[in-house]
Structure 1
Amino acid sequence: MRRFLLLAWVLAALAAGLAAQLADAAWVAHWLWRAAALPVALHVAVGLVRALLGGRLGVDAVALAAILGAIALDEAAAAAVIGLMVAGGEALEAWAEGRATSALTDLMARAPRHAARIEGDAIAEIDVAAIRPQDLLLVRPGETIPADGTLEDDAATLDDSALTGEALPVSLRRGAALRSGGVNAGPAFRLRATHDAAASTYAAILRLTQEAAAARAPLARLADQWALGFVIATGAMAGGAWVATGDPLRALAVLVVATPCPLILAAPVALMAGIGRAARRGIVVKGGGALERLARIRTVLFDKTGTLTPGHPRLAAIDADPVLGRDGALRLAAALAQGSTHPVSAALVAAAGARGIDVQLPQDVTEVAGGGVTGMVEGRSLMLGAEAFLHEAGIDPQDGFGLVAQVAAAAGSVAWLAVDGRAVAAFVMADGMRQEAPRAVRRLRALDIRRIALVTGDRAAAAQSIGRALRLDAVFAGQSPADKIAVVRVEASTAPTAMVGDGVNDAPALAAADVGIAMGAHGTAAAAQAGDVVLLVDRVDRVPEAIAIARRSRRVALQAIAIGMGMSVIAMAFAAAGLLAPLAGALLQEAIDVFAILYALTALRPARDDQAGGALSPEAGLDERRREHAGLRDLAEHLRSAGEAIGTATRAPDLAAIAARLRGELLPHQREEERALYPEAAARLGGQDPMAPLVRMHAEIEALAERVAVLLRLGAAPEGWHAAAPELRRTLFALEALLRLHLSVEEEMLAGLDAPPR
């Protein structure tokens, strides 16, 4: 506020002096202009003394010398304009910093201060500091969630745009975990607090925001160093012009146009603009120093679980006794898994639900930590767990399942099911890649990141499969936290290195890297505190976006400095040659300052290559099509099962049902994608016909589905099955492979066109 008051005083006095000059009251005008300049000189002198007491020469020395010199040489108008330049520069800096940090300011302004706690039949208004775990809170429409918790009602709609940068609201169901800071965009709902307000997500974000706003960037300090040299050069040029010509006005003109506002203002404004832009995209950068280091990164190291993978296992494949069948085995395993809290158990229950399999409640369930679970289902004694768990009960799970064990060694872990003392099924579990991970790695390559590696504590087989799929340069598996630090230090010795992780065991490595990037949406507090950059959105593709923003901000800062100071140096040369009077120089320098700061603010805008993409409209139906993918993957599993069951003398039992699903489920899904989803996605992705490969796959899938129908008709004729069976078997396998490939490719292509998954 003081800066704007000073500017108002200078403008008023300058205008009054101009009016007096036009009224032929020159002596009044001169005193008014002096009155405009002297408070600014006093303000600058105080700042200069503070800088000297801090052990450095303030760059405002040039401005102070220019004002005092103009008054001494009876150039009152020039003194007033210099005062306007200084006061206006500071006010413009304050406005620019406010503009650049508006996203951070919005986060602070939205911090909830009160909450409604449900106490029996009454509602009490309490301070957020009084919230305790297990409190039942009421969140009204438009209110900000005050603390982390779980949803106690059937549904809620949240607007997380201020936290994640995504404009589309998200719908959540009962039991969903809600983060503080989101805004209720629907009807009121009840929330069961899991943390107090101080330990919740939004409070941590505010602390990170305050750190980001308070930190001073190395580029700003470097600008101060350049400014010090510039002060010396300015004094030499001004003194030289005076000595050479004997005209003190030339020295004054040099001082006037030499005020290094572009140097001392442009760098911090551009960097704060970058921090503000990052915040709007759900990326909290802890200050300009972190932003500068991020801009220089050339090596990126990723953790695996929770970073490149979601961290939640999913069912990848089933091998079962033919008598029981895959669906029968999953029905029993999912029923028993209901009595366990292990992530593998949750994955089995979810897989059964996705396939529409009804499961009974288990009885006499006993869970052994780190081993497995036992119980009774449908009157049978079941065991579900690791290989060692079954071995302890005298059951050899490898008997008849050697192939699955070999597959699991390369692709994931295995949960074994034993019924009445005999192993009958093996469930291959895998922690699949995040949909956006391949795109993130390719974007990093496009940003000239020269080395990308995986550093994980997981076993080599699981890590190598991720490394191969993403085409990483190196994979370091089986790494302890101390090993991760050693890898980071080795990589950082050759190039600036960033480490990306989310867990407690990643925190030391994040702290050891040049830049630690923490997945803060669902990651641990330790990782968020150790990281220099915190991703509030649970998407790994924010990593290359953060680097791109940092590089653009640093580039804009350097360009603003170079342009502003280059123009000032040219003006100094003209002033030293007597071609620029002090008053004209002051007006010119004011224009240079404004231009340099406004140019620095262009760091708020996205780069040209960042403007493609964006969320699709609801009419495109992306969410609906994605939900249908679970059913199509189940269809692919049945295609494989049917192909395996076909013999020249026997028919697969569910071929008619599969043909019906192809007609009623798969083909309508593809037609709807081509009608509504693909045209809008193509417009977002840009380029020449980006959806052509997916449309071509659709055509091939339709051709194979038609072939299945034809072969089934041929096989229904007398003696026709023997001739049709081999070709039908091959067609089912081909259709299954193409369908799985198509689903994976489509999900990756469209990964950046929706709101982040929550």
Structure 2
Amino acid sequence: MVTSVALASGIAAAVLGSRTLAEGFWTAGTVSALIPATWWVLNALWQGRLGVDLIAVVSLGGTLAVGEELAGSLIALMLATGRLLEVAAQRRATRDLRALRDRTPLQARRRSGDELTTVPVADLVIGDLVVVGSGEVVPVDGRLEGGGGVFDESALTGESLPVGRSVGTDVRSGVVNAGHPVELRAIATASDSTYAGIVTLAEQAVAVDAPVVRIADRFAAWFVPMTLVLAAVAWWAGGSPVRAVAVLVVATPCPLLIAAPVAIVSGLSRAARLGVVIRSGAALETLGRVSTLVTDKTGTLTAGRPGAADIATAPGYSRDEIIKWAASADLYSPHVFARAIVEECASRGLTPSVPTDVREDPGRGATATVDGHVVAVGRHGVDTDLPDWAADVRARAALEGTAVAWVWVDTRLAGAVTLADPMRSDAVRTVRRLRAGGVRRLVLLTGDNAEAAGQIAAALGLDDVKSEQSPSDKVDVVRAEGRLATTAMVGDGVNDAPALAAADVGIALAAQGRTASSEIAEVVLTTDRFDRVADAMAIARRARRIAVQSAALGMVMSIAAMAAAAAGMLPPAAGAVLQECIDVLVILNALRALRAPGSNRGRPSPDAQRLIRRFAAEHEGLREGVANIRSAADDLANGRLDDAVTSLTRVDHFVQTDLLPHEHAEEGLLYPQLAIPLGSVESTAAMSRMHGEIDRLSWRLHRHVEDAAKLGTVAPDRVEDLLACLYGLHELLRLHFMVEEQDYFTLLPDESAKA
């Protein structure tokens, strides 16, 4: 403000004929910039850095020494403007640990005999009996007494599925009681408990995070000495210090001080339009250099909440019966599994019955009377001998890393509902984009078990996977990766906060609101889309490239102007004006960072978007029928040939009347519309080939069903081929749906972001 007012006032005075007053205003403007610039240079030298600000200080002093006040005032304005932009672009957001500390309970209920008192958590000592209510955070590490419990441990492990703990097992502080009130015997004080350690880890990780060096300073090592030498040569050759000042004026590093910050600020603005908040220019600059990405699993690569993955039945029960029994018994349960089961029941258009005599056993499940039957849902009886179909379910769940809710009706094991945390539909495409954008190494880092982590890592083709990691383990892994390459960490939970802070740049998914991770991370995604990580990196790389390009372009033009000034062709004032023109050019180039970076996907037309939404909705309606294909195959595999005829007929009807019309409509309507956003008609060729294979297997299935209907049963010699047909069709459809959802349906623009 001072420099602009001084320059404008001086120009006004000169126009009015008062040259002395004008020079006074310009001198004041020059001095107002010289004082802070000198401080910046001294501060940089104290820190062992030789910055380009030194040229500005020398040129400002030189203009005063040779009486070129107008040139000095112009330089002062450029310098002040550049510093303002740089500070705005590179101001580091305070890494607020408040969310971590706020989550820590301040009070706890301590039981002493029959007396229950509320005391500060800090007053708890080892051996105290602590009562933790439903939904409350466990205040200290303790051992369960008086009964089992169910705990949401996602804050520590990242595992979205609640964990049952039996009497005598240890429970760590920071987890949430997801069941009935429990009693814990304290085995550590609050300051020595697990959650306090997480806060400390985050603080330590933040403390060791080094600042990013300004882009401009990287050029200073050679640009500053070259400028000073050229100015000295000009003075010596021309015999006048004015030539030296002219060289310094046109060498004033405003292209460096302005172009880079403008490009960085433009990148920040572009990212914000997509729901990506990058806290500082330094964070964006670092993000543009990332070559290793470490990512959490639960809530990051997966949805972060369990859903019903499959329903298995004992002979004599249907899938609809099992899910309705289970939902009725779990209707009033707050358990996350219960909510998933009730939601699955509703998605099938079924209405649960109102249960009576509801009892919930923490860690095992719920029991209730439903329509006159005693129904139990959960882990009841899993330690007993299981029939073959149930043993298959348990074995499959162990391999796939899913949880199982067993359903008992009147003491008979009637079915099972497997629950899983599904992978995000945009994960595969995002991984491909990250690799195409320059990320050479992708690491999965999770507190979840090896089976669940391995499934995700294999599906995405990640380079390494580390499972069952504690918060401190995560910090160690991130630091180890960071010693080899510039590393980013992506996460969403409290347990990820220390690792986010330890990374060169932390990226937090915070679509559900403010979390500890969002407080620690330099990059915060406010939309629940993992592909925004790839968008953020593409924007950062482009902004950084444009910043360097603009700075280099400005320097080349400045060097040419310096040569002209050294030859006596540019007086200081004219050189300052020319420098302003150079500034305008590099700023216009830097503003290109406001535009969206090039992407490997285009924007679908309105007609294509309408079709994508239509077929995405149809996928949801077809899932039950696809699951029934697997159920029919299981009936055959378990030797229930007569029962299989009914299920096969139902499956064939679904395939002929629902599935095939859907696939044919996709082929004829959707795929042609995708040619433009995907780049060519060949982009959907592989999927069209899948349609052909679906038609072939459907035809074989129809012939088998016709033969079975005539015989009234499945001929034994047809079982093997029919099983291959059913299992093959089921897996092919799962793959086909998955690819369409990951490669085509994610082309829809984000409705919540301003593009």
Give the TM-score range, shorter chain. Answer: 0.7 to 0.9
> 1:218 aligns to what SS in structure 2?
coil
Preserved contact between residue 325 and residue 370 of structure 2 (Cα < 8 Å)? yes
Counterpart of 1:440 in structure 2 is 430
Residues 523-532 or 656-665, more deviating: 656-665
Report the CA distance between 1:250 and its aligned residue: 2.3
Aligned CA distance change for structure 1 residues 12 and 359 (closer, same or farther; 3 Å): same
Matched, 1:698 2:691: yes
Report the CA distance between 1:696 and its aligned residue: 2.9
Preserved contact between residue 313 and residue 429 of structure 1 (Cα < 8 Å)? yes
Task: Work out the CA distance in 2 between the residues paired with 1:704 and 1:60.
Answer: 76
Counterpart of 2:742 in structure 1 is 748
> 1:690 aligns to what SS in structure 2?
helix
Task: Work out the CA distance in 1 between the residues paired with 2:279 and 2:511.
Answer: 16
Counterpart of 1:598 in structure 2 is 588
Counterpart code for 2:233: G
Counterpart of 1:407 in structure 2 is 396
Report the CA distance between 1:484 and its aligned residue: 1.5
Matched, 1:500 2:500: no
Equivalent residues in 2 for 1:457-496 (5 A)? 457-496=447-486
Counterpart code for 1:626: A
Aligned CA distance change for structure 1 residues 605 and 356 (closer, same or farther; 3 Å): same
Counterpart of 1:661 in structure 2 is 654
1:275 to 260, 268, 291: 268
Aligned CA distance change for structure 1 residues 711 and 413 (closer, same or farther; 3 Å): closer
Matched, 1:313 2:306: yes
Preserved contact between residue 217 and residue 287 of structure 1 (Cα < 8 Å)? no
Matched, 1:576 2:566: yes
Residues 581-590 or 445-454, more deviating: 581-590
2:376 to 373, 383, 395: 383
Counterpart of 1:631 in structure 2 is 621
Counterpart of 1:685 in structure 2 is 678
Question: Deviation digits for residues 267-320 of structure 1, max 9, x if unmatched?
Answer: 222222222222112111121222222222222111111111111112222322
Counterpart of 2:344 in structure 1 is 351
Counterpart of 1:332 in structure 2 is 325
Aligned CA distance change for structure 1 residues 687 and 374 (closer, same or farther; 3 Å): same
Aligned CA distance change for structure 1 residues 276 and 649 (closer, same or farther; 3 Å): closer
Task: Work out the CA distance in 2 between the residues paired with 1:278 and 1:47.
Answer: 32
Question: Deviation digits for residues 585-611 of structure 1, max 9, x if unmatched?
Answer: 333222112112222222222223367
5+ residue gaps, structure 1, are: 18-27, 73-78, 105-214
Preserved contact between residue 227 and residue 263 of structure 1 (Cα < 8 Å)? no
Question: Deviation digits for residues 322-372 of structure 1, max 9, x if unmatched?
Answer: 112333222211221212122222222222222333331221112223321
Preserved contact between residue 10 and residue 84 of structure 1 (Cα < 8 Å)? no
Matched, 1:558 2:548: yes
Matched, 1:540 2:530: yes
Residues 80-89 or 314-323, more deviating: 80-89
TM, length-normalised to structure 1: 0.74
Counterpart of 1:254 in structure 2 is 247
1:68 to 60, 64, 70: 64
1:739 to 702, 716, 733: 733
Residues 293-302 or 372-381, more deviating: 293-302
Aligned length: 623
Preserved contact between residue 78 and residue 254 of structure 2 (Cα < 8 Å)? no
Preserved contact between residue 615 and residue 753 of structure 1 (Cα < 8 Å)? no
Bigger RCO of structures 1 and 2 (CA < 8 A, at least 6 apart): 2
Task: Work out the CA distance in 2 between the residues paired with 1:398 and 1:285.
Answer: 55
Counterpart code for 2:537: I
Task: Work out the CA distance in 2 between the residues paired with 1:227 and 1:720.
Answer: 85
Preserved contact between residue 270 and residue 595 of structure 2 (Cα < 8 Å)? yes
Task: Work out the CA distance in 1 between the residues paired with 2:643 and 2:597.
Answer: 62
Residues 447-456 or 723-732, more deviating: 723-732
Question: Deviation digits for residues 388-425 of structure 1, max 9, x if unmatched?
Answer: x436xx85556752221111111112111122223222
> 1:439 aligns to what SS in structure 2?
helix
Preserved contact between residue 436 and residue 539 of structure 1 (Cα < 8 Å)? yes
TM, length-normalised to structure 2: 0.74
Alpha-carbon RMSD across the aligned residues, in angstroms, is: 3.6
Preserved contact between residue 6 and residue 26 of structure 2 (Cα < 8 Å)? no
Counterpart code for 1:678: Y
> 1:383 aligns to what SS in structure 2?
strand
Question: Deviation digits for residues 563-589 of structure 1, max 9, x if unmatched?
Answer: 212221222122212344445433322
Aligned CA distance change for structure 1 residues 353 and 363 (closer, same or farther; 3 Å): same
Task: Work out the CA distance in 2 between the residues paired with 1:682 and 1:730.
Answer: 34
Task: Work out the CA distance in 1 between the residues paired with 2:450 and 2:338.
Answer: 24
Task: Work out the CA distance in 2 between the residues paired with 1:547 and 1:349.
Answer: 39
Report the CA distance between 1:11 and its aligned residue: 5.9
Counterpart code for 2:381: L
> 1:538 aligns to what SS in structure 2?
coil
Aligned CA distance change for structure 1 residues 10 and 440 (closer, same or farther; 3 Å): farther
Aligned CA distance change for structure 1 residues 415 and 745 (closer, same or farther; 3 Å): same
Task: Work out the CA distance in 2 between the residues paired with 1:492 and 1:262.
Answer: 32
Counterpart of 1:108 in structure 2 is none
> 1:691 aligns to what SS in structure 2?
helix
Question: Deviation digits for residues 468-498 of structure 1, max 9, x if unmatched?
Answer: 1111111111111122222222222222222
Equivalent residues in 2 for 1:94-133 (5 A)? none
> 1:517 aligns to what SS in structure 2?
strand
Report the CA distance between 1:378 and its aligned residue: 2.1
Task: Work out the CA distance in 2 between the residues paired with 1:475 and 1:231.
Answer: 47
Task: Work out the CA distance in 1 between the residues paired with 2:545 and 2:321.
Answer: 61
> 1:382 aligns to what SS in structure 2?
strand
Preserved contact between residue 307 and residue 422 of structure 2 (Cα < 8 Å)? yes
Aligned CA distance change for structure 1 residues 610 and 395 (closer, same or farther; 3 Å): closer
Preserved contact between residue 63 and residue 86 of structure 1 (Cα < 8 Å)? no
Task: Work out the CA distance in 1 between the residues paired with 2:694 and 2:487.
Answer: 44
5+ residue gaps, structure 2, are: 46-52, 94-208
Task: Work out the CA distance in 2 between the residues paired with 1:456 and 1:216.
Answer: 25
Report percent identity of matched pairs. Answer: 40
2:417 to 421, 427, 431: 427
Report the CA distance between 1:746 and its aligned residue: 0.5
Task: Work out the CA distance in 2 between the residues paired with 1:525 and 1:722.
Answer: 60
Preserved contact between residue 319 and residue 326 of structure 1 (Cα < 8 Å)? yes
2:575 to 585, 590, 606: 585
Aligned CA distance change for structure 1 residues 86 and 593 (closer, same or farther; 3 Å): farther
Preserved contact between residue 601 and residue 677 of structure 2 (Cα < 8 Å)? no
Matched, 1:291 2:291: no
Task: Work out the CA distance in 2 between the residues paired with 1:402 and 1:712.
Answer: 28
Residues 34-43 or 744-753, more deviating: 34-43
Counterpart code for 1:750: Y
Aligned CA distance change for structure 1 residues 425 and 38 (closer, same or farther; 3 Å): same
Preserved contact between residue 299 and residue 491 of structure 1 (Cα < 8 Å)? yes
Task: Work out the CA distance in 2 between the residues paired with 1:218 and 1:65.
Answer: 30
